[in-house]
């Protein structure tokens, strides 16, 4: 298998604030429905932010053995269930595969923070001997990929990518590289996050990164809007089945999309603020397009990082202009975070899955709540309503604290034929 072997997406699995599967999530995206509401996971009295994009109605015992699920943090449960969905969607029977040719790479920015925070309370209130022996194997960031490996039987490379809010995109990029290098036939790649716990909300509030628009939570995530005031924390998982061209042809399946390009750079600038020049993020876009063999004139749709923070949206706009030139004003762009909130390390994977669905249905998702655009953000952000237009070539931007810039290019499988 050569380094230029094509890599395709053959299955999707999603647990999101808009639904517990691909169909319900995509229906919410197309309808422009917000998954953001007041927090139910804990008492928010005294918190500056009282809302988030929670996954509602998720019972892990509906999908996993009870004993098994109780030994997983919520983020690992999300990943395991999303991976099972993705395998079913791909129609792949991993028991019939060489398990050592199937990898699992699941990104997470925070990992098992729910279990860690709960067990810290046990330590404080009841003493060290009452802390669960499963604390460590439940809180580790790699436990999402480990659990995906265990529930699917994947025995190839299995690890966690940790690059803040670029984690899910980087996991997909690494899976793409593995298949191109011939190290795997199939990789289950994506991201998972379950950060809606008091310590995380308090921490992001102290950082002044979260929106405080408590009067109307569904309208709080407003990327590129003049009065945006921060991101909305979300939770969930997305896992994509990546498969080599040779392998899917042997199986006789039709792919959903092709993962054609991946580019990553670092700002080398600040813990949380993007580099004000926008050049590093622009270079990541250029690298992804170059790897994909795509000209800027061929891009049909761009799913922006679009967090709804004042600095990110402005700097991302600058980066897109630097990378695409005059074509930046032509390309329809949207931020699905306006509906799902920001899934942190899972965001890039969910947004890549949304690009796949955009290609499948020829629908460009909207940016809801964009009623008063920031004059500094003057591109076409697909305000309020989805568009039905031909979508062959898509891009997905993911930028993370620490200066991570990661970009994916996904295309219609037949686009280059």
Residues serving a catalytic function are 165, 305, 342
Could you count the other beta carbons within 10 Å of the beta carbon of residue 116? 18
The CB density around residue 198, as the number of other CB atoms within 10 Å, is 16
**Closest among 310, 305, 314 to 399, alpha carbons compared:** 305
CA distance 166 to 337: 14
| Residue found by looking up tokens 């929106």 in the block | 211
Q: Return the HEC string of the chain.
A: CCCCCCEEEEEEEEEECCECCHHHHHHHHHHCCCCCEECCCCCCCCCCCCEEECCCCCCHHHCCCHHHHCCCCHHHHHHHHHHHHHHHHHCCCHHHCCHHHEEEEEECCCCCHHHHHHHHHHHHHHCHHHCCCCHHHHHCCCHHHHHHHHHHCCCCCEECCCECECHHHHHHHHHHHHHHCCCCCEEEEEEEECCCCHHHHHHHHHCCCECCCCCCHHHCCCCCECCCCCECEECEEEEEEEEEHHHHHHHCCCCCEEEEEEEEEECCCCCCCCCCCCHHHHHHHHHHHHHHCCCHHHCCEEECCCCCCHHHHHHHHHHHHHHHHHHHHCCCEECCHHHHCECHHHHHHHHHHHHHHHHHHCEECCECCCCCECCCCCCCCCECCCEECCCCEEEEEEEECCCEEEEEEEECCCCCC
For the CA atoms of 18, 193, 358, 298, what is the dihedral angle to 10 degrees? 150
């Amino acid at each position: 298998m050569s380094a230029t072997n094509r890599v395709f997406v053959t299955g999707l699995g999603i647990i999101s604030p808009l639904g517990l599967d691909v169909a319900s999530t995509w229906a919410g995206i197309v309808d422009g429905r917000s998954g953001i509401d007041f927090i139910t996971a804990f008492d928010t009295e005294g918190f500056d932010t009282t809302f988030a994009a929670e996954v509602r109605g998720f019972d892990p015992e509906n999908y996993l053995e009870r004993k098994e699920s109780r030994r997983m943090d919520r983020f690992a449960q999300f990943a395991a269930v999303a991976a099972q969905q993705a395998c079913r969607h791909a129609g792949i029977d991993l028991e019939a595969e060489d398990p050592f040719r199937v990898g699992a790479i699941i990104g997470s920015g925070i990992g098992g923070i729910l279990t860690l925070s709960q067990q810290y309370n046990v330590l404080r209130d009841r003493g060290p001997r009452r802390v669960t022996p499963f604390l460590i194997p439940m809180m580790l960031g790699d436990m999402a990929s480990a659990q995906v490996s265990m529930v699917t039987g994947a025995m190839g490379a299995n690890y966690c990518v940790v690059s803040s809010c670029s984690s899910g995109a980087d996991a997909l990029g690494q899976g793409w590289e593995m298949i191109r290098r011939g190290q795997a036939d199939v990789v289950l790649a994506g991201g998972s996050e379950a950060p809606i716990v008091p310590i995380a909300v308090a921490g992001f509030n102290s950082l002044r990164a979260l929106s405080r628009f408590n009067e109307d939570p569904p309208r709080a995530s407003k990327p590129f809007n003049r009065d945006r005031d921060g991101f909305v924390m979300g939770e969930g998982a997305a896992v994509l089945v990546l498969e080599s061209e040779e392998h899917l042809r042997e199986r006789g399946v039709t792919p959903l999309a092709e993962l054609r390009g991946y580019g990553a750079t670092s700002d080398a600038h600040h813990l949380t603020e993007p580099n004000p020049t926008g050049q590093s993020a622009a270079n990541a876009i250029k690298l992804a397009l170059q790897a994909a063999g795509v000209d800027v004139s061929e891009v049909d749709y761009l799913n922006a990082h679009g967090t709804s923070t004042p600095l990110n949206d402005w700097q991302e706009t600058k980066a897109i202009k630097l990378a695409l030139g005059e074509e930046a004003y032509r390309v329809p762009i949207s931020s699905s975070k306006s509906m799902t909130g920001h899934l942190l390390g899972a965001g890039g994977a969910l947004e890549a899955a949304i690009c796949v669905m955009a290609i499948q249905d020829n629908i460009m998702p909207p940016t809801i709540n964009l009623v008063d655009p920031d004059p500094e953000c003057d591109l076409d952000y697909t305000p309020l309503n989805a568009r039905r237009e031909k979508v062959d070539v898509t891009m997905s931007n993911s930028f993370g604290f620490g200066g991570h810039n990661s970009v994916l290019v996904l295309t219609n499988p037949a686009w280059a034929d």
